[in-house]
Amino acid sequence: MEHIFTSCTQLRYGRDLRLNEVRRLLSSARPVAIQTSVNPSASDQDLQQVQLWQLAQRTTALPIGRGAFTLATIYTLLTEAFTVPKLVLAGRLPAQQNATVNLDPNTRNIQELKSWPEFHNAVAAGLRLAPLQGKVSRTWIIYNKPEEPNAVHAGLLLALGLHGYLRVLSITDIYQYFSQEHESTTVGVMIGLAASYKGTMHPAISKVLYVHIPARHPSTFPELELPTLLQSAALMSVGLLYEGSAHPQTMQILLVCFILVLFQY
């Protein structure tokens, strides 16, 4: 968040340290401090894990605030890979020379804990891009695509979609993302596309979204078992795509599909 501290903020706040305090509170790249005794016993170590678990849940919520704090504040070079701040769930022990302690993987599913927070962390990072920046190219998006799908790139795709940059992707690119069968990537692409094409009723994007709504499939369509999360994201995406259109058929479809998805919960 160092890019926040410019000559303009220095002139506005002067010796006021409120921005430094906000930056400290929203930082997720360093281990958090855990209060413990100098010579911990076995029970103290269990207490460390409890404290660390509670602090980890706080850390995973920080990207929401950081996204608002750093909104539209950077200009990135389209010849470089985009960097996303780290989401560190480890702790440090000030009483023991800042020794690092990690969550015990035998008691907590760390990967499950970090999956969606990493997604939102990447969304917050992508929203840092200034909206007046030069047009993001398809080449740059593909350049940032990892070999294996992950939640970080999925979040970046959603952020680019909210900026309206996913229009540069071809239908082939979109289907390649869907073919990875990675849940968070599919969610990021669907909502990002809908945001980029908001209110346009684009027929090709509409067709892509309706593939993820089984209730909309014709009787001759092969039966698909799609997670409720993907169906919910597809419904929301269709709503964005048809925003302000007053399209009666789509309104009827959305109402029926929403009720069907609701019963699945």
Domains of the chain, by residue range, sit at 2-28+66-75+114-264
**CA 105/CA 117 separation, integer angstroms:** 17
Span 93-98, average pLDDT:
79
Q: Are 79 and 136 in contact (CB under 8 A)?
A: no
- Binned at pLDDT 50, 70 and 90, residue 46 comes out as confident
- Taking 60 as the threshold, does the pLDDT of residue 226 lie above it? yes
In the structure encoding, which two tokens stand for residue 192, read together?
Answer: 């990002």
In the structure encoding, which two tokens stand for residue 227, read together?
Answer: 């997670």
Q: Are 117 and 60 in contact (CB under 8 A)?
A: yes
- Taking 60 as the threshold, does the pLDDT of residue 29 lie above it? yes
Q: Which amino acid is at 28?
A: S
Q: Residue 215: phi, psi to the nearest 5? A: -65, -15
The model carries a pTM of 0.87
**C-alpha dist (Å) from residue 176 to 64, 173, 227:** 29, 5, 19
- Looking at per-residue confidence, does 255 or 42 come out higher? 255
- Taking 70 as the threshold, does the pLDDT of residue 7 lie above it? no
- Binned at pLDDT 50, 70 and 90, residue 250 comes out as confident
CA dihedral 243, 245, 212, 129 (to 10 degrees): -30
**Which pLDDT value is given to residue 224?**
77
**Which pLDDT value is given to residue 122?**
95
Closest to 61 (Cα-Cα) out of 117, 110, 103: 117
Residues of the chain with pLDDT > 70, as a percent, come to 89
Give alpha helix (H) positions in 94-163.
Answer: 110-126, 138-143, 151-163
